[in-house]
Amino acid sequence: MAKYVYLFKEADGDRKDLFGGKGANLAKMTSWGMPVPQGFTITTEACTKYYEDGEKIADGIVEEIFEALAKVEADAGKKFGDEKNPFLVSVRSGARASMPGMMDTILNLGLNDVSVKGLAAKTSNPRFAYDCYRRFIQMFSDVVMGTPKSEFEKIIDKVKAEKGIVSDTELTAEDLQNLIALFKEVYRKHQNSEFPQDPKVQLIEAVKAVFRSWDNPRAVVYRRMNDIPGSWGTAVNVQSMVFGNMGDTSGTGVAFTRDPSTGEKKLYGEYLMNAQGEDVVAGIRTPMTIDHLAQTNKAVYDQFVEIAGRLEKANKDMQDMEFTIEEGRLYMLQTRNGKRTARAAIKIACDLVDEGMITEQEALLKIEPKQLDSLLHPQFVAKALKQVKPIAKGLPASPGAACGKISFSAEEAVERADKGEKVVLVRLETSPEDIEGMYRAEGVLTVRGGMTSHAAVVARGMGACCVAGCTEIKIDEEKRVIFIGGKKYTENDYLSLDGSTGNVYGEQIPTEQASVSGDFAKIMEWADKYRALKVRTNADTPNDAATAVKFGAEGIGLCRTEHMFFAEDRIPAVREMIVSKTVEERKVALAKLLPMQREDFTGLYMAMEGRPVTIRFLDPPLHEFVPHKDDEIKELAKTMGLKFAELKETVEGLHEFNPMMGHRGCRLAVTYPEIAEMQTQAVIEAALAVRKKGIEVKPEIMIPLVGEVKELKYVKDVVVATAERILKENNATMEYHIGTMIEIPRAALTAEEIAKEAEFFSFGTNDLTQMTFGFSRDDSGKFLDEYYSKKIFESDPFARLDQIGVGKLMKIAIAGGKSTRPDIKLGICGEHGGDPSTIEFCHNIGLTYVSCSPFRVPVARLAAAQANILNPRIKPQPAETRYLIEN
């Protein structure tokens, strides 16, 4: 029969999957003879079974719990509910991956009307004992039984008011005894039963509550943000209570083996004597630094330092430890790999290698790739940030720090930026026409829209700072003012945006640039050494390309040519092309775009210095390039010398019921091959131009939205004919390649056919996700929240690749592609290309490269290295233990 409950001294400290992080570490510390208050762990499997059984703890598990309890009681020489020497426990969650503060904890369990007397006697502190009891009633009622805390707080307030006192600490032992009676009354009223006096009943109910807390909303959200599967479940640790508040020889504290902010190697922490953990948190007294303990209790300090050293060495990582001193005796309550800043993570990883404690590979596995992001963007100067308070908070849509004066429209942002002014663009929401303004602004702030709104997606792509969905802002675009918290801000006021936190500040805050040298450079060097996947970037401008090269990009995996079409100087020609009635008219308009596109590509090639550049041909539906409101159409008609009615008809003719599934991608090139001709000409002529400057490019032309090989063949024929004509005219030859996006399910399903024409595949996982799930990113916001809360989805499929469904299509496509063309180059250029878990998947299924936004390039390099260390694809490595990245 399966065993679900283990004493700390029985459990296997290497089985975090079974005992959770906390339980495994308690087991380890116990096995190493460290002073750990004893107890037992109920496994994660018990949690899974609890849910499978319809939220019930099986009888067998209850029995196991009581057996373990009896053993621990016997060892401690104490008894649950004893009047003289009561056994009290804490009941804590402990998942495989650390989820701090997400789940529930119950302290002082075992108190009842009898054992509270025993505690009073043992501590010689009746006030403390009764305070513990009333706290326990409150905590148990709230966490376990769902009676709101506020019900109890109201009573405390009433009692205090009656007594004319202000602070809780002024309540006497008698006051607390009275309170306990009132609290039990509240419990009775709400639960229709007496507060349970049987500690065993308390215990089982508490265990259930911890299991339930695995699925509370904030835990579900946390898991979604951190890629933690819902199937893991949490373990429950039942541990003897020890008290740091038994007088002046008792105390409690927290310490790190290294500085979690800087990574500096020194014991770092604080403690309070005669206190419980709560008091440290409450901040009533100022804690001492850990060094101070050396002066007051050298023996305990030395013992702690020794234990800390052993723990760091054994766990090969910086430790975060909780300890309690009970009447001069040290107890270790828990240890774990400590959370740390990105800067500290990098320094610690490098130092541990220098100290010979870990290998380079292990060092790479210790850094959470996503964390790097924060190091790559400009940040507010830390000291300056401490002196200001945010005036509003939105969603942290795209990291970085931005500071500038308020600009109300994209055009205005461009104009003012041209004059050298620093502006932030503040909009209700953004649309494709705003691209240039977004690009020129320091940062973007929107009132509406979520993490996958236009503003958020585009800003992340650009590496620009963006705070989205800041609903506290009221914009009056006409009067050119915004209101935040009742205060008015105009175009002359500064805003500062923190894209990593979502904070908005109403003043100027200085920023500082990221540095990619030192330890950071060393980590990147190691990452490059151990990875198999190539890392390219999605870049549409020379500026983006240069940033990406600085961050280590090995090529451009996706240049979206349409972004160039939106620029102010181009859009007139684009619109002229759209309203053209004949091929000839269209060619005239395209001829105007040609020199600009050629210049675009020349700039990109120069910035990439000979690295491969993949250029995707025009993708979006044409209606994105024209205005839709009558007055805008009128104005445009005037500018273009057209009749309003005529232009309106053209615009209406472009209307689509489902633009995502409309006339776009290669369908444009099939109907208007002259667009592909112009783009090919620009690609080849630009390559010829940079050749003169000594840079040799092998352009890669990527045809979007292919679903049938004959589509690709048709467009490819146009491209090849044009390219060959241009080369012949220039009396030149050139290596160039033609491939396709795989972003339509049918392309994946018929990949063996597609590969007959395509020299490379690039997975466009944004569209592929939309089509595979059958919902559009723009519309899914209406129901996805409900899907998360009903546990239908655990993560946003647009942020983290759906490896099951979309992943299956990718595997089908890879198998098909390779069967036709064994050496086919395979990449990914959807937004997922910058997501570490997706990168690991891409490595495992055998892609050649991932392509992501410039600021994600270092993230991808690290994630790619981790993937290859865990599952070596090239030059097989000695087997590494799979580390759970917990930092």
CA distance 115 to 865: 56
Could you say which of 427, 598, 667, 821 contacts its own copies (CB under 8 A)?
667
With CB under 8 A as the contact rule, the residue among 663, 691, 725, 737 that binds its own copies is 663
> 164: number of CA atoms within 13 Å, CB side?
0
- The residue from 705, 742, 842, 870 that contacts its own copies (CB under 8 A) is 705
Instruction: Give the span between the Cα atoms of 437 and 404, in whole angstroms.
Output: 13
Separation between Cα atoms, residue 222 and residue 300, nearest integer Å: 37
Q: Which two tokens stand for residue 90?
A: 């804490």
Q: Is the dihedral of CA 824, 828, 829, 833 positive or negative?
A: negative
Provide the token pair at 691: 């050749």
Q: What contacts 774, CB < 8 A, 6 or more positions away?
A: none
Which residue, 572 or 627, is less far from its own copies as judged by CB?
Answer: 627
Please identify, among the stretches 443-451, 467-475, 476-484, 776-784, the one whose residues bind its own copies according to the rule CB under 8 A.
776-784
Residue 767 interacts with its own copies (CB under 8 A)?
yes
- Among positions 791, 819, 881, 882, the unique one binding its own copies when judged by CB under 8 A: 791
Angstrom distance (rounded) from CA 395 to CA 357? 40
| Residue 728 touching its own copies (CB under 8 A) | no
d(CA 656, CA 15) in angstroms, rounded, equals: 55
Q: Give the H/E segment covering residue 662.
A: none
Query: Hey, which bits of 96-199 come out as E strands?
Result: 105-109
- Footprint of its own copies on 73-102 (CB under 8 A): none
CB nearer its own copies, residue 297 or residue 772: 772
Query: Closest separation between CB of residue 401 and its own copies, Å?
Result: 32
Q: Which of 76, 159, 670, 720 binds its own copies (CB under 8 A)?
A: 670
Stretch 222-251: interaction string toward its own copies, x if CB under 8 A: ------------------------------
Cβ atoms 497, 467 nearer than 8 A: yes
Dihedral pair phi/psi, residue 873, rounded to 5°: -105, -30
Residue 108 near residue 88, CB atoms below 8 Å: yes
First to last CA, the chain: 35
Structure tokens belonging to residue 160 = 């205090």
Q: How far apart are CA 558 and CA 684, in angstroms?
A: 17
CB nearer to its own copies: pick between 161 and 815: 815
Query: Can you say whether residue 196 is alpha, beta or left, with left for phi > 0 and alpha for psi between -120 and 50 degrees?
Result: beta
Minimum CB distance to its own copies smaller for 592 or for 746: 746
Applying CB under 8 A, does 783 fall inside the site for its own copies? Answer: yes
What is the C-alpha separation between 625 and 580, in angstroms, rounded?
14
Among 775, 687, 782, 752, residue whose Cα is nearest residue 726: 687
Nearer residue to its own copies within complex by CB, 340 or 667: 667
Cβ–Cβ < 8 Å for 219, 5: no
**Which range in 42-50, 74-82, 489-497, 806-814 contacts its own copies by CB under 8 A?**
806-814
Binding flag, residue 660, its own copies (CB under 8 A) = yes
Active site includes 628?
no
Q: What span, in angstroms and rounded, lies between the C-alpha atoms of 149 and 714?
A: 69
Q: Does residue 350 carry a catalytic annotation?
A: no
Q: Which of 47, 350, 403, 454 is catalytic?
A: 454
Examine residue 756 and tell whether it contacts its own copies (CB under 8 A): no
Catalytic pick among 403, 829, 842, 852: 829
Nearer to its own copies, 648 or 811 (CB): 811
Question: Where does this chain touch its own copies (CB under 8 A) — which range of 126-134, 540-548, 555-563, 767-775?
Answer: 767-775
Q: CA-CA distance, 309 to 357, in Å (whole number)? A: 12
Q: Which is nearer to its own copies, 804 or 879 (CB)?
A: 804
Query: Which region, judged by CB under 8 A, interacts with its own copies, from 47-55, 75-83, 592-600, 801-809?
Result: 801-809
| Only segment of 6-14, 152-160, 575-583, 791-799 that touches its own copies (CB under 8 A) | 791-799
By the rule CB under 8 A, 749 interacts with its own copies: yes
Residue 708 within binding range of its own copies, rule CB under 8 A: yes
Q: Are 484 and 503 in contact (CB under 8 A)?
A: no
Under the binding rule (CB under 8 A), the answer on residue 544 touching its own copies is no
Binding residues for its own copies restricted to 169-198, rule: CB under 8 A: none
Told to check if 432 binds its own copies by CB under 8 A, we report no
Binding site for its own copies (CB under 8 A): 656-663, 667, 670-671, 705, 707-708, 710-711, 714, 743-746, 749-750, 767, 770-776, 778-780, 782-783, 786-787, 790-793, 802, 804-806, 808-809
Tell me the catalytic residues: 454, 829
